A and B are shown apart, each in its own frame.
Chain A
Amino acid sequence: QSVLTQPPSVSGAPGQRVTISCTGSSSNIGAGYDVHWYQQLPGTAPKLLIYGNSNRPSGVPDRFSGSKSGTSASLAITGLQAEDEADYYCQSYDSSLRVFGGGTKLTVL
């Protein structure tokens, strides 16, 4: 059971917009700690996608955006592309722990 809750899977057709939710609690996201998102392509290491709730590292397309409200956060992907098919993880901070969501598998139809 992960500290942060994500849907196991989402899907969308090329060009569409999808969102992935990440629900926490008053001891992590709700306590004011930032949410970060990672993309893990099949067989590879996770890659930082969004940091500090809504910031993109250099090189990450602006099709990816993040937001946070209350005890939850969301990752939005617009203009879906086949190469976006991957697992996505949210991560925050809780009682000195770095906590992750269980991951969401994005399927591009």
Chain B
Amino acid sequence: QVQLQESGPGLVKPSQTLSLTCTVSGGSISSGSYYWSWIRQPAGKGLEWIGRIYTSGSTNYNPSLKSRVTISVDTSKNQFSLKLSSVTAADTAVYYCARERYSSSSRYMDVWGKGTTVTVSS
């Protein structure tokens, strides 16, 4: 079955860019009708959807982060990535990647990575 694994630096300095990669295994990122999403969760708080990408490269971002977020896909490596610029302590969180199923009335994440903790600190 499809598995997702996040990777990237666990510590990022304020004002720098957070960069994470999600590697998809057990299936092709290009097969099926799925979006590929990033979600984050500050310690002790709820879930926040960051954005998603389709393998065509089309993206959709949370307006609250849109000016700082870039999600990209590399189908040859079966990976998609997240870049978040100008980070502050408020961006400290566990970051999850997920596979998203969609229909006319539905968007939901059916496969999640285990998450990676990113701390913003000097």
Residues of chain A touching chain B, judged by Cβ–Cβ distance below 8 Å, are 2, 32-34, 36, 38, 44-48, 51-52, 57, 89, 91, 93, 96-103
Residue from B39, B46, B107 in contact with A93 in the complex, judged by beta carbons closer than 8 Å: B107
Residue from A44, A45, A48 in contact with B108 in the complex, judged by beta carbons closer than 8 Å: A48
Q: How far is the CA of A38 from the CA of B41 in the complex (A)?
A: 14
Identify which of B49, B96, B111 gathers the most chain A CB atoms within 10 Å of its CB. Answer: B49
Task: Specify which chain A residues have a CB less than 8 angstroms from the CB of B60 in the assembled complex.
Answer: 96
Task: Specify which chain A residues have a CB less than 8 angstroms from the CB of B49 in the assembled complex.
Answer: 97-100
Known: A45-B114, A48-B111, A51-B110. 5 other contacts (CB 8 A): A46-B96, A48-B109, A52-B106, A96-B60, A98-B52
B interface: dominant SS: strand
Q: How far is the CA of A34 from the CA of B106 in the complex (A)?
A: 5
Q: How far is the CA of A3 from the CA of B49 in the complex (A)?
A: 12
Q: How far is the CA of A48 from the CA of B49 in the complex (A)?
A: 15
In the complex, B47 has a CB within 8 A of chain A: yes
Asked if A34 contacts B46 (CB within 8 A), the reply is: no
Q: How large is the interface on B (under 10, 10 to 19, 20 to 34, 35 or more residues)?
A: 20 to 34
Asked if A93 contacts B112 (CB within 8 A), the reply is: no
CB within 8 Å for A98 and B37 given contacts A46-B112, A57-B110, A89-B47: yes
Q: How far is the CA of A51 from the CA of B111 in the complex (A)?
A: 12
Q: Shortest beta-carbon distance, A24 to chain B, in Å?
A: 14
Q: How far is the CA of A93 from the CA of B52 in the complex (A)?
A: 13
Residue from B62, B105, B110, B112 in contact with A45 in the complex, judged by beta carbons closer than 8 Å: B112
Residue from B46, B63, B108, B114 in contact with A103 in the complex, judged by beta carbons closer than 8 Å: B46
Residue from B47, B62, B63, B105 in contact with A32 in the complex, judged by beta carbons closer than 8 Å: B105
Q: How far is the CA of A78 from the CA of B4 in the complex (A)?
A: 31
CB within 8 Å for A45 and B47 given contacts A34-B108, A98-B37: no
Which residue on A lies nearest to B110, using beta carbons? Answer: A48
